[in-house]
Amino acid sequence: MEQYWIPKELDFENLRKCLDNYEADSIFVRLKGSSGGEVKLKEDLTGKVLDFKKDDSGLYLSINSEEVFHFPLKNYEVDRQKGFSLAYERVRENGSLVMLSRGIDPYDSELPEPKKSFLRHALDDHLFELYFKGRVDLEFHSWWDKPHFKYWNIK
């Protein structure tokens, strides 16, 4: 799946845009380190409302107004890691997944339309993934490393 990086300083603004404008499908939080890491939260969001708040004590996730997970964001401001990325799941007519190492153009007419979009981030030793049905639209933000890597913003 191709990934599109979002500037870290716009992380929570873009998370809000996604929740306000796109249909969240499911959420997944696990410990980092391996694909078999301990699952902390796995929830189907069909018919449910996911929300968040961020304050000095961290990021709080809630489903139907009930808090379900808290990221203290202990090292968020000083951590030099990337911010959120958005990935697309694209399936060819023959059923095979399109696998690109990174995204060049999210609107490439040669690629099938995304079946799902994944908003991802590594926060406080956890992998946070939020899944959306269909395409979450992107727009070019700036160059990260011209001419190879771009930053994107949620439309």
Q: By residue range, what is the domain housing residue 27? A: 3-38+77-154
pLDDT at 16: 98
Task: Give the total number of structural domains in the chain.
Answer: 1
pLDDT by residue (tens digit) across 20-74? 999 999 999 999 876 667 899 999 999 999 999 999 999 999 999 999 999 999 8
* Structural domain contains residue 127: yes
Q: 128 falls in which pLDDT band (50, 70, 90)?
A: very high
Does a structural domain hold residue 54? no
Mean local confidence (pLDDT), 8-24: 96
Contact in structure between 18 and 136 (CB atoms under 8 Å)? yes
Q: DSSP characters for 127-152? A: EEEEEEESPPPEEEEEEEETTTEEEE
- Is the confidence at residue 77, as pLDDT, over 80? no
User: Is 113 domain-assigned?
Assistant: yes
CA distance 27 to 120: 10
Q: Per the domain annotation, does 31 fall within a domain?
A: yes
Question: Looking at residues 90-113, what average pLDDT do you find?
Answer: 87
Percent of the chain with pLDDT over 70: 93
The pTM of the whole model exceeds 0.85: yes
Residue type, 78: V
